């Protein structure tokens, strides 16, 4: 570390290299933090989490009880032991609370004044954070499994919504209506995700064993149907292309948007080139997945070697994205893990038994004076 610092000071090293090395060190040393806790508000399972991208300070959670909670992750007291408090919540007594399980929550990508939630009660709700009142609501004919807003869009305000039906719905926040639908899947849509690189590129995953990439400006159909066997992309073959030998119930782009990860109920995870749809054939081994709905996993950002974090029973499996190596299993939960999110600003690393080269303990930046 001292060598990195002196080389950077002398102008011999790119400052980003030091940052990537430290981020990688922290991931390799992750384990359960015994000094921090999160206030327990939900009375049943937590299905979804999202940390706002502006400050990285506030976190949303949605539960199978229909409740939404907003947490402040910052330790303003500067005490070594603290609990992240709930700032506010949409509880069972709130007039606009979701009737059934909340499956997805997401902050508006550009500020914390608005967030969205979707539920098994067949609604997508847009919330004013300051008043906790509904700014808009979209009603659907089918149960809603997933929704997502583009993190980079500047020319549209579309929310992609996956439901129990085979059609992907695009809702326009500006007009307050469903602008159009994407047809091509044959069964329920379990996961949707916009590219973090191109604002019009959308990935969808379905129970029909298929994952598709779309350019939402095109009305003629999807760009690519991902094929695990990398067959020829003729129209006749494409209709039979499958990404997994089971339901595809999870999607996640890498932070640079160049690759897409999918998980399926065949206990496999696959890495795809997002520009041409090629299966990169990275072998992650068995990735346990018995979820009956969408599986929410996440990737790191800013590391010299990027990682993917996947709920794996009551643990979280950590893999290197491009080699497929399983680095560790994060343990601490007593029951099934439903979702996880990655926030580099609030990482805390400790000594790692698996990586003796990274034995120093480094506190996260928000703990330093």
Structure tokens at 342: 């990655």
- What is the spatial distance between Cα 45 and Cα 72, in angstroms, rounded to a whole number? 20
Measure the CA–CA gap between 274 and 137, rounded to whole angstroms: 32
In this predicted structure, the answer to whether residue 365 has a pLDDT above a threshold of 50 is no
Q: What is the 3-state secondary structure (H, E, C) of 225-272?
A: ECCCCCCCCCHHHHCCCCCCCCCEEEEEECCCCCEEEEEECCCEEEEE
Per-residue pLDDT of 74-104, as tens digits, reads 887 778 888 999 999 999 999 999 999 999 9
The per-residue pLDDT for 160 is 97
pLDDT tens, position by position, 164-218: 999 999 999 999 888 789 999 999 999 999 999 999 999 999 999 999 999 999 8
- The mean predicted confidence, pLDDT, of the chain is 88
Q: What is the pLDDT of residues 17-50, one digit of tens each?
A: 777 888 888 888 888 888 889 999 999 999 999 9
| Distance, CA of 84 to CA of 271 (rounded, Å) | 35
Report d(CA 236, CA 51) in Å as an integer.
Answer: 42
Phi first, then psi: give them for residue 140, nearest 5 degrees.
-125, 160
Res 361 pLDDT > 70: no
Put simply, whether the predicted model's pTM sits higher than 0.85 gets the answer: yes
Task: Read off the pLDDT band of 359 (50, 70, 90).
Answer: very low
328 neighbors 312 (Cβ within 8 angstroms): no
Cα–Cα distances in Å, from 304 out to 21, 160, 196, 320?
A: 6, 31, 19, 11
Residue 355 has pLDDT above 50, yes or no: no
């Amino acid at each position: 570390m001292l060598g990195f610092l002196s080389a950077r000071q002398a102008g011999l090293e790119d400052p980003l290299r030091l940052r990537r090395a430290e981020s990688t060190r922290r991931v390799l040393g992750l384990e359960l933090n015994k000094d921090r806790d999160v206030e327990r508000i939900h009375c049943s399972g937590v299905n979804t989490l999202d940390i706002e991208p502006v400050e990285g300070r506030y976190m949303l959670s949605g539960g199978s009880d229909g409740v939404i909670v907003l947490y402040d992750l910052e330790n303003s007291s500067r005490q070594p032991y603290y609990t992240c408090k709930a700032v506010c919540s949409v509880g069972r007594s709130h007039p606009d609370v979701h009737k059934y399980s909340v499956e997805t929550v997401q902050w508006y990508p550009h500020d914390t004044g608005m967030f969205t939630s979707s539920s098994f009660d067949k609604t997508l709700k847009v919330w004013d954070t300051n008043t906790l009142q509904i700014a808009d609501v979209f009603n659907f004919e089918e149960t809603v499994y997933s929704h997502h807003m583009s993190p980079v869009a500047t020319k549209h305000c579309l929310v992609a919504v996956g439901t129990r039906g085979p059609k992907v719905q695009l809702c326009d926040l500006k007009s307050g209506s469903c602008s159009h639908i994407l047809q091509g899947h044959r069964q329920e849509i379990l996961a949707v995700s916009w590219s973090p690189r191109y604002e019009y590129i959308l990935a969808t995953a379905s129970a029909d064993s298929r994952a598709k990439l779309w350019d939402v400006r095109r009305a003629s159909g999807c760009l690519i149907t991902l094929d695990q066997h990398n067959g020829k992309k003729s129209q006749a073959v494409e209709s039979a292309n499958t990404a997994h030998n089971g339901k595809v119930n999870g999607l996640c782009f890498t932070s640079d948007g160049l690759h897409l990860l999918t998980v399926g109920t065949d206990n496999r995870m696959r890495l795809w080139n997002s520009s041409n749809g090629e299966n990169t054939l990275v072998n992650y081994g068995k990735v346990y997945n018995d979820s009956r709905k969408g599986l929410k996993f996440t990737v790191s950002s800013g590391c010299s070697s990027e990682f993917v974090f996947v709920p794996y029973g009551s643990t979280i499996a950590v893999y290197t994205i491009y080699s497929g190596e399983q680095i560790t299993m994060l343990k601490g939960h007593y029951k099934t893990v439903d979702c996880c999110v990655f926030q580099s600003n609030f990482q805390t690393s400790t000594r790692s038994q698996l990586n003796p080269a990274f034995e120093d303990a480094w506190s996260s930046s928000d703990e330093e004076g």
